[in-house]
Homo-oligomer: A and B are copies of this chain.
Amino acid sequence: MTGQPHAPGGPVVALDVMSGEAGVAEAVAAADIAAERYPRLSFLLHGREPDIAAQLLRWPRLAGRARIIHSDDIVVMTDKPAHALRRARTTSMGMAIDAVKRGDAHAAVSAGNTGALMAMALFGLRTMPGIDRPALAALLPTMKSESVMLDLGANTDCDATNLVQFAVMGAAFARTVLGLERPRVGLLNIGEEELKGTGEIRKAAATLRAAALPMEFVGFVEGDKIGTGDIDVVVTDGFTGNVALKTAEGTSRLVTGLLGNAFRSSIWGKLGYFIARGALQSLRAHLDPNAHNGAVFLGLNGLVVKSHGGANARGLANAIGVAHDLIIDDVSRRISADLAEIVMARDNQPEPNAA
């Protein structure tokens, strides 16, 4: 270990500098952007010491608030989770998670291989008492502002208990990151009527209706409600959530791609675009994946934030910002408190997982 000691008392992020597609220079630049935004934030920078040290020379502000933790090995995008897991102690990704486990950092941030990060985070940090499985949550753009969706791919199959736990975690996340007192929570389904969907979804809805939680449970919502802004938290299993997220991203690219073609299709289109280009930049900013970057593994004994693999410095800085907010607002404690409510509201069944 080399470099400066971090600021005492403030939040500390363990940043995996090596595993993203954008490279070390962008990752270190991202840390400096975040360091400017959050004056009390300091960093552990995990990766190849000479590469990171060379970049830190460019960012004196960051250098004063960062410590380099050297590792030679790197998890690549094609690594199978099991193969990565065996290298938890030698890779920048594994060591960033280990820093959270040891209490040296409050959150780990990585732009690397999602499956490997999930496996390492679950194995290294374990689930919180009362949570059976972690979920991947992220913010999506809506007509009004942003909404939370989870699970985005951590769990292919989910039962009613998983979905209820996801709702609790998603609501706590929305209260923290979106600053909402009582987030409106919906279960993703293929119709709004009570009899629609699988038995597990209907069971989850019944539990959420009965429990007294700091959320407004609105019942079932369909896919076309994800972007309207009328729902703050969209809860679903990891298979459906991953498909919905990627379908939304693909459709957004489709429509903006067709829009670009339309503007280029004639001289009037080109002229109209030229005149309206200032106004159109707000659209681009609102839909920019970098602006919504930072998916969170919720339900672990420690915070892990996943950045888009291809995020640029500004995008990765936003993911670090998500980690910062979750640390400051103590989202893990909120989830624990809400889970205790659920357990109390439930029938007096033995609850082996409750702490």
Where the two chains meet, the residues of A that have a C-beta atom closer than 8 Å to any C-beta of B are: 141-143, 153, 156-157, 188, 190, 197-198, 222-228, 236, 238-240, 242-259, 261-263, 265-266, 268-269, 271-280, 282-283, 286-287
- Does the CB pair A242–B280 fall under 8 Å? no
- Does the CB pair B258–A287 fall under 8 Å? yes
Complex CA gap A125/B249 in Å reads 39
- Does the CB pair A272–B262 fall under 8 Å? no
- Other-chain contact of A226, B157, B250, B272 (Cβ < 8 Å): B250
- Does the CB pair B278–A268 fall under 8 Å? yes
Question: 19 A–B contact pairs at CB < 8 A?
Answer: A143-B257, A190-B239, A190-B242, A222-B246, A223-B242, A223-B246, A224-B247, A224-B253, A227-B251, A248-B251, A252-B254, A252-B255, A258-B286, A262-B276, A262-B279, A263-B280, A265-B282, A268-B278, A271-B275
- Specify which chain B residues have a CB less than 8 angstroms from the CB of A190 in the assembled complex: 153, 156, 238-239, 242-243
Knowing that A227-B253, A244-B244, A272-B274 touch, tell me 14 more A-B residue pairs with CB under 8 angstroms: A142-B254, A143-B258, A222-B246, A223-B249, A228-B254, A247-B247, A259-B259, A259-B280, A266-B279, A269-B276, A271-B276, A272-B280, A273-B276, A275-B275
- Other-chain contact of A255, B157, B238, B245, B287 (Cβ < 8 Å): B287
Copies of this protein in the assembly total: 2
- Specify which chain B residues have a CB less than 8 angstroms from the CB of A273 in the assembled complex: 272, 276
Complex CA gap A197/B243 in Å reads 11
Complex CA gap A282/B269 in Å reads 11
Complex CA gap A100/B228 in Å reads 40
- Specify which chain B residues have a CB less than 8 angstroms from the CB of A239 in the assembled complex: 190, 197-198, 240
Minimum CB–CB distance for A16 against chain B, Å: 21
**Nearest CB to that of A247 among chain B residues?**
B223
Most B-side CB within 10 Å, residue of A227, A243, A265? A243
Minimum CB–CB distance for A41 against chain B, Å: 32
Minimum CB–CB distance for A34 against chain B, Å: 27
Complex CA gap A143/B260 in Å reads 11
- Does the CB pair A245–B272 fall under 8 Å? no
Knowing A143-B258, A239-B240 touch, does A276 contact B263 (C-beta < 8 A)? Answer: yes
